[in-house]
Amino acid sequence: NAGVTQTPKFRVLKTGQSMTLLCAQDMNHEYMYWYRQDPGMGLRLIHYSVGEGTTAKGEVPDGYNVSRLKKQNFLLGLESAAPSQTSVYFCASIKVPNNEQFFGPGTRLTVL
């Protein structure tokens, strides 16, 4: 089992560029999440999915879009990157019924 993997590990964008972050899990988990981690702000939920084909907004969804076309993949898109989106992004999936969350290694994104 690879667990939760994230692609890419690092990325530098210019303001206005777009990109997609990929999260994949091989544990057959239904629920998947995208968080961002910023100094002094802790981890904040961006979007989440409770199953294939579903998505929902979290605490800080503005400027991001997501898709869950396959159960094992959860994509996070930035349509027009802004410097405020410079952050470390973590993907997670949940094992039911005990609700233990498993995290990916993170993607460090810098927007210039």
Q: Which residue in the set 45, 60, 65, 67 belongs to the binding site for another protein (CB under 8 A)?
A: 45
Phi, psi torsion values for 55, nearest 5 degrees: -145, 155
Rounded Cα–Cα distance for residues 48 and 68 (Å): 9
| 92 lies in the site for another protein, by CB under 8 A | yes
Interface positions, 93-112, toward another protein (CB under 8 A): 94, 96, 98-106
Structure token pair of residue 45: 């939920």
Q: Is 26 in the site for another protein (CB under 8 A)?
A: no
* Cis before 8 (ω within 30): yes
How distant, in Å, are the alpha carbons of 14, 24, 96 from that of 42? Answer: 25, 23, 25
Single residue of 25, 33, 36, 46 touching another protein by CB under 8 A: 33
Under the rule (CB under 8 A), what is the footprint of another protein? Answer: 31, 33, 35, 40, 42-45, 48, 50, 56, 58, 90, 92, 94, 96, 98-106
